[in-house]
Amino acid sequence: MCGPRTCSCYRGYKHSSQNQYVCHPVCSTPCARGICVAPETYSCYIGFELSKKNCHVCEAVCSTPCSNGKCVAPEICSCYDGYELSTKNHYVCELVCTTPCSNGKCLAPETCSCDERYELAEDNQQVCKLVCSVPCSKGTCIAPEICSCVNGYELNKTNQYICNPICSQTCSNGTCVAPEICSCYNGYEFSDEDQYVCKPKCFSQCSNGECVAPERCSCYRGYQRILQNPYVCYPVCSTPCIRGICVATETCSCYVGFKLNNKNRSVGEPVCTTPCSNGKCVAPETCSCDYGYTLNENNQYICDPVCSTPCSNGSCVFPETYSCDDGYELSEVSKFVCDPVCSVSCFNGICAAPEICSCNASYRVSAKSPLIANQFHVLMEHV
């Protein structure tokens, strides 16, 4: 519902930051690869569908399940480490073992699992030799049930038959999979500057922000994300821009026909190219007259004073205020009447026009009688 120039959004909606007359639906959790179309309701982009486990997450859709891999984009499979896409079926990831395992079988990428009482040879990971009851992973059985790791590996602290790869530095957001080789977790990729650092990946570049987690942008100071696009950070104005939009941090830009108020830089004032006479500018090129004034029919920037009663021999100069023409003065009886002025009093008559006397009935102006000094009387004779 709306009041004058004010909209109130329905429950589950909020004002648009760009237009006070538009209400957008509110979703409490951002949705990657989708948009908020109704309160707490998401619609995924083409090629994605809502996760069955999390209604706030849009997952990529592959019409055929990815074997030994995961669907990372519409109809695109990404194989797990040690697997590669089949040349015959791009939904199938095949195990990679370039050399057949001797006395064992390939159960993991480039890794042989030896038959019972066999273990991997030190110099050939595809060859199993008989020694220990439990094969030494990345090592050699040097004595009954004792493993010695190959160079670049060390014994697992909880399992004496497992040798873990050694990385001289901790793999950030990843794991050490071979000597001095890190493998990034899903959603991360290697940094260009450091082979031990995996940085998060975002499907789109973060505008006015940086990618801080997989598909998650963190806005720079003075910016914030909107639900419609989680990869774009828009500038923030702590005070809403009235008749304008926020174009930079704490910076408003007015709509066409408005200019920023000199004292309040978040308020846009309407612009009238010609100053409003006896009124104020209330909209672009639109004047509103002060009380007691009305807009001139021929000039939209001029407000004329209003007098409720017409005044003869005078003009309306202020609301309900008259100014008499030359030779006239306001009547003592009515402020709406201008009486003519005669510099000398008319005896036996009235002043009918400036300096013109009109005699009473049966009287006329005497041609013989001069003006009497200092009394300013006009003598009239009886007819």
Instruction: Report how far residue 37's alpha carbon sits from residue 26's, in angstroms, rounded to the nearest whole number.
Output: 9
pLDDT value for 171: 93
pLDDT value for 374: 32
Q: What mean pLDDT value characterizes the chain?
A: 84
pLDDT value for 133: 77
pLDDT value for 368: 53
pLDDT value for 192: 86
DSSP 8-state symbol, 344: S
- DSSP characters for 162-228? BEEE--SS--BTEEEEETTEEEEPTTEEE-SS-TTBEEE--SSPPBTEEEEETTEEEEPTTEEEETT
Q: Find where tokens 């990385």 sit.
A: 167
Instruction: Report how far residue 71's alpha carbon sits from residue 7's, in angstroms, rounded to the nearest whole number.
Output: 44
> Could you report the per-residue pLDDT of 109-147, keeping only the tens digit for each?
777 887 777 777 777 777 877 677 788 888 888 777 888
pLDDT value for 2: 55
pLDDT value for 3: 63
Domain boundaries, the chain: 2-61, 104-165, 342-382
Instruction: Report how far residue 41's alpha carbon sits from residue 45's, in angstroms, rounded to the nearest whole number.
Output: 13
Residue 374 sits at the vertex; the CA angle it makes with 370 and 379, to the nearest 5 degrees, is 35
pLDDT value for 339: 87
pLDDT value for 111: 78
> Could you report the per-residue pLDDT of 315-337, keeping only the tens digit for each?
888 998 888 988 888 887 777 88
- DSSP characters for 29-41? S--TTEEEEETTE
Instruction: Report how far residue 306's alpha carbon sits from residue 81's, in angstroms, rounded to the nearest whole number.
Output: 87
Where would I find the beta strands (DSSP E) of 16-162? 23-25, 34-38, 41-44, 48-50, 58-60, 69-73, 76-79, 83-85, 93-95, 104-108, 111-114, 118-120, 128-130, 139-143, 146-149, 153-155
Strand (E) or helix (H) holding 352: strand 349-353
Q: Give the CA distances from residue 256 to residues 221, 241, 263, 268, in Å, rounded to whole numbers and listed in that order.
A: 29, 14, 20, 10
Instruction: Report how far residue 11's alpha carbon sits from residue 179's, in angstroms, rounded to the nearest whole number.
Output: 57
Block means of pLDDT (10 residues each) for the chain, 383 residues, are 73 83 84 83 86 81 90 89 85 81 78 76 76 81 82 90 92 93 93 90 89 91 83 89 89 91 89 93 92 92 89 86 88 83 87 88 68 40 48
In 3D space, the residue among 354, 357, 335 whose CA is nearest the CA of residue 346 turns out to be 357
pLDDT value for 375: 33
pLDDT value for 51: 80
Burial of 370 per CB tally in 10 Å (0-12, 13-18, 19+):
exposed
